[in-house]
Structure 1
Amino acid sequence: MDQGNTAFILICAALVLLMTPGLAFFYGGLVKAKSVISMMMMSFGAMGLIGVLWVLYGYAIAFPAAEGTVAPWAVDPGAFGLTNLLETPEGAAYPPLAFAAFQATFAIITVALVSGAIADRAKFGAWMVFAAIWATVVYFPVASWVFNFGLADDGSFAYGGWLTKGLQDVFGVGTIDFAGGTAVHINAGAAALALALVLGKRVGFAKGVSVPHNPPFVLLGAGLLWFGWFGFNAGSELAADGTAALAFVNTIAAPAAALLAWLLVEKLKDGKPTSVGAASGAVAGLVAITPACGSLSPFWAIVLGLVAGAVCALAIDLKFKLGFDDSLDVVGIHLIGGLIGTLYLGIFANGTGLIYSGSGTQLLVQAIAAFSVLIYSFVLAFVIGYVIEKTMGFRVKNEDEIAGIDTVVHGEEGYVLVDSK
């Protein structure tokens, strides 16, 4: 067992887990002051719920043993409770439990991302029910489609997802998704769009009506996300090597470029670059580079960041034109950014991209993966959300939304400015 790689994976797992509290601050700063507790609790609720479900059965669904291409909805009964991962096989580079821990943090952050689309108006209990069902029938299987490494007899991990090995068997190249452009960002963004449609618009929804109540929270959250994202991207190599170093550098380059591009668009559109725009631009670049960080030269990572920052800055206004209330722009940043990063690889991926190979096969494969995940996640998220809304109710009453859902749902206030005692 390589103790250096084991330490690397465990440290990266801790970094990725930190991203969810970072997301809580990022989202919390963007909502109304009287909704900040509710918003942050949806992220922390996901940490608790998905952490438990992952150990109980999530890993068993996401990582059944790979012997050739694994069926899209395979399950490894021996992995329930992680019982078959307690021993490290001879010759393994790191303990299977280290890999399970690393992937657990991906499941948590993906579910938490969805919550940004329903800010200011969702019941916490209904959110937790949705999170449990969506993780079970959407995230865990999709993670298997993209990330599935089955544990082989020699302790190594072998690809078996249908979007990776399966498409490779058919087209000669499989989907490139180094750290989760499809499984994480497109997946979460599609589910966010579905929930935004199910819950409907906030009271008084219109451009310019809702403004972030705490931009410093947003900047703090973006900083924590960026910091944790180094574990997210570089850690996906599962080894402290040159590819991890490339992913690390690209995780600097792309979001830095996206930040600048977003600010430039803001300046040209509105006359002023904003702190929230800087934070949002950085996140857009991080989203776009996630699938591509191990397959692009740093130059092309900068170009990707510029494209993602500019396009996502424009895409966030689609909700006003199309009439859906994606409260915190999960669709505009994560769905659109994930699509950009995933499809960009079809052209610029080292070796197999169009400009290197002269073939459009990689682009075709990337598109199949991106839209398969998008459609699957959207349809099931819409159905799950609709059933919850029609049974236990997903949205709070309009009067509770106006009054502030922190006190109604959680009995707390984010800011107690006067001591009543």
Structure 2
Amino acid sequence: MPPGISTLAADAPELSAANTGFMLICSALVMLMTPGLAFFYGGMVRVKSTLNMLMMSFISLGIVTILWVLYGFSMAFGTDIGSVVGWSADYVGLSGIGVNELWDPTTIPVFVFAVFQLMFAIITPALISGALADRVKFTAWALFIALWVTVVYFPVAHWVWGSGGWLFEMGVIDFAGGTAVHINAGAAALGVILVIGKRIGFKKDPMRPHSLPLVMLGAALLWFGWFGFNAGSWLGNDDGVGAVMFVNTQVATGAAVLAWLIYEKIRHGAFTTLGAASGAVAGLVAITPAGGSVSPLGAIAVGAIAGLVCAMAVGLKYRFGYDDSLDVVGVHLVGGVIGSLLVGFFATGGVQSDAKGLFYGGGIDQLTKQAIGVVAVLAYSLVVSGLLALVIHKTMGMRVDEDDEISGIDQVEHAETAYDFSGAGGGASSRKAEPAPAETAVAAAESKKVDA
């Protein structure tokens, strides 16, 4: 019998209606995060790329769902094979799972656990899309998602959370996805953009977010859904750990918003809405691996450090010349690394597990484990994602033509536009009607500083 399915022995846990309902709600909240991400990213691009950005997230809901049912759940949570990947015939097609079979040792059905984890698998490749705005063929992106979740996400999820996975067995703490989701996606984004290159006009032409209200709406939906993402990862609500994670999620995010805005004011002279939204996401990312291990005071530290460091990190693309369109590397990769490593400093030993960080008398043991997890996932995802992108780029081509990129990827790839400026209805719009783009104050300052 595959690991995770409870037996019918007398001492086996019984199904809890309360926990099952709680986890179904959390699953729905995590599902909502992908459309929220689409709005967040969609508002950050220029008008001519809005629909493409929405679709790059939305298509993940379709592709990953089918692959998860066919074999993804089996690869991630099936019987361990060499501590690298799982596989169980009962999980293929979800066909060998009984309606009332429980995910051992929890009190929720296997189906509920599977659908909750599905939502994680869906949003992870969607996170990558923000780094590739304005320039990727939709068909190439869809193929990349299918290949990437198969050879990167499903195995890494097994490493981190699967019974027998090598990082799981080592004792690496990742409550809800700092390594498996955020470092994984951020490193993948870096690998792909190094292959496909920069947008036309990067560091020269203004590339301003076209709708900051849309960005704020997306950030709010992400923040809301993240409570399911984080608190639900304890798979129940019997012992208070999920409640601590809920509190820490809110606390760290608030601290990150403040830290980002303070840095922005000092460095660039303004409190921007884009900065507030980005700071919130940075805090959410950083607390994801750490929130079950730290106290609320520790969560403040995690959020504040993430907000400050991520605000500094988003400018690195101008210094080093890689075109991370919407700061996936600066927020998700850097934020994931920060949150994962800070477990090794702030873990109290009194919430999720008895593992203690350096500041609580635990020495460097847990920090060493966290560092190994960070490096392993980062390196694997960076290299394999870059290779996948290279194969696609050299075969079917991953980028749209130069003229199509300049004229607008929405019209070329989707035969639609986000807004009808002409007033004639339908899909076509005049370029003259598009608002004149201008760099954000923060991006412009960073770019000029580097050029100088």
Within the candidate set 216, 227, 231, 2:228 is matched to: 231
Deviation at 1:76, TM superposition (A): 1.6
Equivalent residue for 1:190? Answer: 187
1:279-318 equivalence runs, <5 A = 279-318=277-316
Residue 395 of structure 2 is aligned to residue 391 of structure 1: yes
**d(CA) in 2 for partners of 1:368 and 1:103?**
24
Report the residue type matching 1:230 in the other structure: F
Per-residue CA deviations over 1:206-264 (Å, capped at 9, x if unaligned) read: 17821101000100000000000000000001011310000000110001000011111
CA contact (8 A) 1:179 1:236 kept: yes
Counterpart contact for 2:63–2:146, Cα < 8 Å: yes
Say whether residues 1:65 and 2:85 are aligned partners. Answer: no
Please name the residue that 2:123 is paired with.
Answer: 109
Q: Kindly indicate whether residue 88 of structure 2 is the aligned counterpart of residue 76 of structure 1.
A: yes
- Does residue 1:3 correspond to 2:1, yes or no? no
Overall identity of the aligned pairs, in %: 57
TM-aligned CA deviation for residue 70 of structure 1: 5.6
Indicate conservation of the 8 Å contact 2:289/2:340, yes or no. Answer: yes
Q: Quick one: which of 342, 347, 350 aligns to 1:349?
A: 347
Partner of 2:177: 180
Total equivalences in the alignment:
402
Amino acid in the other structure paired with 2:385: A
Once the two structures are TM-superposed, the CA of residue 359 in structure 1 deviates from its matched residue by 1.5
- Equivalent position to 1:375, from 356, 375, 379: 379
In 1, the alpha carbon distance for the partners of 2:206 and 2:322 equals 15
> Of the two, which has the highest radius of gyration?
2
Q: Is the 8 A contact 2:89 2:96 kept in 1?
A: no
| 1:84 partner SS | coil
- Which range moves more in the overlay, 354-363 or 291-300? 354-363
CA distance in 1, matches of 2:168, 2:64: 25
2: CA distance between counterparts of 1:136 and 1:358?
37
> Does 1:137 find its partner at 2:151?
yes
* Structure 2 counterpart SS, 1:121: coil
Instruction: State the match for 1:43 in structure 2.
Output: 57
2:165 alignment partner AA:
G
Q: Which amino acid aligns with 2:332?
A: H
Report what 2:245 is aligned to. 247
Amino acid at match of 2:328: V
The residue number in structure 2 matching 1:87 is 99
Quote the residue 2:420 is aligned against: 416
Tell me the SS of whatever aligns to 1:291.
helix
The residue that corresponds to 1:152 in the other structure is none
Q: TM-score when scaled to structure 2?
A: 0.87
2:363 to 355, 359, 362: 359
Counterpart of 2:201 (choices 201, 204, 218) is 204
Counterpart in 1 of 2:442? none
1:165-191 per-residue CA deviation (whole Å, 9 max, x = no partner) reads 1x1xxxxxx011000000000000000
Aligned partners of 2:27 and 2:375: how far apart in 1?
28
Specify the code of the residue in structure 1 equivalent to 2:139.
G
Q: 53, 61, 68: which one pairs with 2:67?
A: 53
Contact 1:64 1:70 in 2 (8 A): no
In structure 2, what is the equivalent of residue 170 of structure 1? none
Alpha-carbon separation, structure 2, partners of 1:284 and 1:305: 8
Q: Residue 339 of structure 2 aligns to which amino acid in structure 1?
A: G
Q: CA deviation at 1:31?
A: 0.4
Residues 112-161 of structure 1, C-alpha deviations (whole Å, 9 max, x = no match): 0010110010110000000000000000000011111xxxxxxxxxx432
Question: Structure 1 residue 164: deviation in Å?
Answer: 1.4
Aligned partners of 2:85 and 2:165 also within 8 Å: no
Q: Alpha-carbon deviations, 1:307-364, whole Å to 9, x = none?
A: 0001000000001101100000000000000000000001111222112234101000
Structure 2 counterpart of 1:288, one-letter code? A
**Aligned partners of 1:207, 1:283: CA distance in 2, in Å?**
27
Contact 2:286 2:338 (8 Å CA) reproduced: yes
Q: TM-score, normalised by structure 1?
A: 0.93
Distance in 1 (CA, whole Å) between partners of 2:305 and 2:336 is 12
2:317 maps to which of 316, 319, 341: 319
C-alpha contact 1:192 1:330 (8 A) present in aligned 2: yes
Residues of 2 paired with 1:101 and 1:176: CA distance?
A: 22
SS at match of 1:203: coil
CA shift in 2, pair 1:417/1:208, >3 Å: closer
The equivalent residue for 2:260 is: 262
The answer for unaligned runs of 5 or more in structure 1 is 149-158, 168-173
